[in-house]
Amino acid sequence: MSNFPPIRLRLPRFRSIQIGILVLISILCSTISTPAQGALNRSAVTVDSRQIFQITSSAQLKASERTDWINNQLQAAVESQQPPIIKLEQRNQAPTIVVNDRYLLTVTQNDTSAGQTPTEQATIWVNRLQTAIVQAQQERRPEFINQMVLLTVGVIVAAIGLHWLLGKIWARIKRRVDQLPAPGTEGEPPSINLLFRLTLFLVRMAMWISALLYITNLFPLTRQWGYNLTASLISSLTDPIFSRGAMSYSVTSLAILLGLLVVTIVLSGVLTNILRTRILQVMGVSRGAEASISILVKYTLIVIGSIILLQLWGLDLSSLTILASALGIGIGFGFQNIAKDFGSGLILLFERPIQVGDFIEVNDYKGTVEQINARSTVIRTLDRISIILPNSHFLDKEVINWTHLNPISRLHLPVGVAYRSDVNLVRSTLIEAVRAHAEVLSSPPPQVLFKGFGDSALNFELLVWITTPERQMLIKSDLYFLIEAAFRQQQIEIPFPQQDLNLRSGSLPIQVSPELEQAILAFSKNVDRHQS
């Protein structure tokens, strides 16, 4: 067995990618399936922590005991810096591997792969050992170490550059996402800063871990640290942290479950947006109906998806009945207001007394309904201020909905004119003035009501119809401007409050001088003359 194939020195370039893939596969395999019983009795033979092959237990020794002996012999052969002499001999009718005239391993039938004899398996392992020992000896030379030091510096610089580049890429993606209008927020970007920061942190951490594993794999002395770190990482992520019945759960399985739940929520939002923008808007559904259907569909998808995931993960939800009952009692006593608001939100969604886009008046607030959430409703006032009110507020108190079923509403504009004015001229002037406004409806036509005789004026009330109640304050202001200009043109006087002061002559209860009495009487006559 002296004719071996030519030996090629393979530098461990890009091995971190392989290690990362192996780690990922190991994690997924550990969480999805259970290893076969035979795999538990195998142990790896390594040279400088590189796995060469795996062996099983023998009649006298365990697999781990056999690999400890073999690994020590191989390490001694590497450190001797002598060209390895590896032979395959037949001892006791079994193929035996000898390294530098020292016994290393007897290959048994249990060590072989499927379809191979012990001799064929031993021949393959001899070639692997020859290559691995020569490569390990060359990696201890100064020129190789200098080369790996330069490569380490390059990897660190590349990792720093990639760290910076990932931040730029994430920022660019976030800017594009922020430009997408979110329903109900009038183009404002949704709050996804936390999601972007979390994903950026995870990607950067994975990148640095891969770089660290790659660097530790470059040098023989640190390669064991990298493999120990990988083994510890896999062990900490895959070892069960608690068990429930026949199922055991690790950190990885819980993280995958949490990630799938997050994906379920995100996909529910995406499907809801598609339903809203691609289907409901094309069908001509009103804005309020869109919001109601979208919210119901979103929460339904989240609940159904969560139940399916929990069932697939081995969690029997029927066993949580007692916990759900206790939680319901706790909600009933400790979260009465929250439960009340949630129930009120469902009533608002089903009965729809108010809808998204309605212009309402509640308490001292007037504004447009922007969002109807599970617990609260957002109102955007005329001052562009968002008011967040609990849903129960709309069922416990009176709410004026200006656009309920029909957006047409009537405005009342009180007008007073002087007593000497022609009432017919006043009526025609008011009607002609408001007809010039584009937002005043011609049908129903404007009306003028004579409300009565006031202390200082003849009181009228102008009634006009509009279709934009959210602009009623601006429309009133425009109409008053038009009325004032029309009155000025028709010389109709707008009065101001007046009070009469009556002074009677006669003896005063106090004694005054004749001069002061004459002055008071003269002043009284002047006032009477002015009023007449």
433-448 pLDDT, tens digit per residue, is: 998 888 899 888 999 9
All residue ranges of the chain with pLDDT < 50 are 1-40, 182-190
The confidence score (pLDDT) of residue 316 equals 64
Q: Supply the DSSP string of 151-166, one letter for each residue.
A: HHHHHHHHHHHHHHHH
Are 208 and 13 a contacting pair, CB within 8 Å?
A: no
The confidence score (pLDDT) of residue 459 equals 93
Class of domain 316-401: mainly beta
The Cβ-side half-sphere exposure at 36, using a 13 Å CA radius, reads 3
Structure tokens at 362: 């509640």
3-class secondary structure, 117: coil
The confidence score (pLDDT) of residue 62 equals 84
Domain with CATH 2.30.30.60 in the chain: 316-401
The CATH architecture one would assign to domain 409-490 is 2-Layer Sandwich (3.30)
CA distances from 288 to 149, 186, 355, 359, 372 (A): 65, 15, 4, 12, 9
The confidence score (pLDDT) of residue 408 equals 86
Domain with CATH 3.30.70.100 in the chain: 409-490
Q: Supply the DSSP string of 351-415, one letter for each residue.
A: H-SS-TT-EEEETTEEEEEEEE-SSEEEEEETTS-EEEEETTHHHHS-EEETTSS---EEEEEEE
Cα distance between residue 301 and residue 126, in whole Å: 58
Dihedral angle computed from the Cα positions of residues 290, 296, 297 and 299, in that order, rounded to the nearest 10 degrees: 140
pTM for the model = 0.44
The confidence score (pLDDT) of residue 332 equals 63
CA distances from 337 to 81, 353, 375, 399 (A): 79, 21, 10, 20
Structure tokens at 495: 């009065």
Q: For the chain, how many residues are written?
A: 532
- In angstroms and rounded to an integer, the radius of gyration of the C-alpha atoms of the chain is 44
pLDDT in tens, 129-149: 888 888 888 888 889 889 989
